[in-house]
Structure 1
């Protein structure tokens, strides 16, 4: 009788433990974390309010971001010392394609056993920033510092924190990869350097002959100085310390020319940084996880790159 009672008691404890574990996992999974207690260089503007585009109850894109956040996505089977990727959606520094280049990508990473964080970063604006050139970079640096500081909480290896950026989000990701040590706010001593970088049809350069003009104007203004153009042309900022990088582009991309990825790859190669570049014949621009032609295979190639570099458990 006593054994039977112990059995039922132990079973009840096990069910309770499982329930608590699932509840904690769900709470963490649904977390949306504000990046800042006090946003550096902030200008208050009451008429500048976030604008979300919603379809079927799901946020597709957002603009006029004032409160940058991290949305947490953890694998169903969370393992100790897993890798993590912070995702920067694109949108020409005008809006964020938060679903196609954020949420869906995070879910794909989760299917590989990688923790993911969608970064809703501030878009450059003189209305809400004292210096709009560095506003997105401030958010990007702080996002990496936050995840690294809280790595144990999310079962993340602090030496396996990567970033992924699409289009203008790729510019921000490549800026972070090459400007992670820039002092753009009063930061903690935690490193903002990503351990690896995944750049998907990225804007890399601000040089007039190959840049995406909309991204250039949004970030640097209508008449940027040559110094500013050079500083944010990230192919010119690569060093031996730039993180290993995986790049994807399509030959027929007429929005963001593939020369952006090619020139960044050549700079990485020159500095002996591990790099892999995939230029697909067709795909155009903005194909997200891949919707047509040869671009639909980039996720397979990316998965193999992650496995080769030890980021898949």
Structure 2
């Protein structure tokens, strides 16, 4: 890589030869949210999956310049590096998934759909999208648009990086979850992506929880209220992963 992003690996010895997930935290393309990185990787480890957290390029690293395509380049190059076997990690290079939250979900979706001119070989084998930014033209999170492309980005570029429009039949099976009252990234993002997956006959599972602020992560701690009802997403995702053949059935 010409720009080598920081990685944090969670590939313990007991998971030699198991699949790996590339974890992409959210943060509006301005930062990476800590609670959507290492804690998520450890949850994947608990399921018997390896994990690599990618600290992809964000806007403050490119002052006065367009951020795109740096984050996508980081994700694509990291995926190729993992798949090539050159990482030195004892993982199953034939089963590489991506898990993205919010703006990291947008990056995961663009990686999955081949938006931006990527080939099918650049795509993961499974995708998990948590309250993702999907569209840059409809129901969009303007902060992510501005950070990634700038406030005056051409409409054609915004369309090209809207994952619901770039999606095709080569998009990997996908698990999505969102909350209906998300005040930052409208739930329409996940609904539109699910509809596009259905149109292209791509296998998917979608869960919409009635309530919950944006950025819940694993949703295990909701202050005085304790475990948030949306924390159920991890159990449903575990069942989905089992159905995909990536986990041993209990």
In the superposition, the TM-score normalised over structure 2's length comes to 0.90
After TM superposition, list the pairs within 5 Å mapping 1:9-88 onto structure 2: 36=1, 38-39=2-3, 68-75=5-12, 77-80=14-17, 82-88=18-24
2:110 paired with 1:175: yes
Partner SS state of residue 35, structure 2 = helix
Q: Mark the runs of 5 or more structure 1 residues left unpaired by the alignment.
A: 1-35, 40-66, 184-188
The count of aligned residue pairs is 242
CA RMSD of aligned residues (A): 2.1
Distance 1:120 1:144 in 2: 13
Distance 1:84 1:172 in 2: 17
Q: In the alignment, which residue of structure 2 is the partner of 1:91?
A: 27
Residues 259-281 of structure 1, C-alpha deviation per residue, up to 9 Å, x if partnerless?
00000000001000011100011
Instruction: Give 1 or 2 for the bigger CA radius of gyration.
Output: 1
Distance 1:75 1:113 in 2: 10
Q: Mark the runs of 5 or more structure 2 residues left unpaired by the alignment.
A: 222-226
2:149 paired with 1:214: no
Partner SS state of residue 83, structure 2 = helix
Using the TM superposition, give the Cα deviation of residue 190 of structure 1 relative to its aligned residue in structure 2, in angstroms: 10
After TM superposition, list the pairs within 5 Å mapping 1:219-238 onto structure 2: 219-238=148-167
Q: In the alignment, which residue of structure 2 is the partner of 1:118?
A: 53
2:242 paired with 1:307: yes
Distance 1:306 1:118 in 2: 19
Residue pair 1:83, 1:312 contacting (<8 A) in 2 also:
no
Q: In the alignment, which residue of structure 2 is the partner of 1:195?
A: 125
Task: Provide closer, same or farther for how the CA distance between residues 101 and 158 of structure 1 changes in structure 2, counting only shifts above 3 A.
Answer: same
Residue pair 2:116, 2:160 contacting (<8 A) in 1 also:
no
Task: Provide closer, same or farther for how the CA distance between residues 231 and 126 of structure 1 changes in structure 2, counting only shifts above 3 A.
Answer: farther
Distance 2:115 2:91 in 1: 20
Residue pair 1:162, 1:194 contacting (<8 A) in 2 also:
yes
Using the TM superposition, give the Cα deviation of residue 127 of structure 1 relative to its aligned residue in structure 2, in angstroms: 3.5
Using the TM superposition, give the Cα deviation of residue 294 of structure 1 relative to its aligned residue in structure 2, in angstroms: 2.1
Residue pair 1:115, 1:156 contacting (<8 A) in 2 also:
yes
Distance 1:125 1:79 in 2: 36
Distance 2:72 2:87 in 1: 25
Residue pair 2:26, 2:104 contacting (<8 A) in 1 also:
yes
Residue pair 1:103, 1:118 contacting (<8 A) in 2 also:
yes
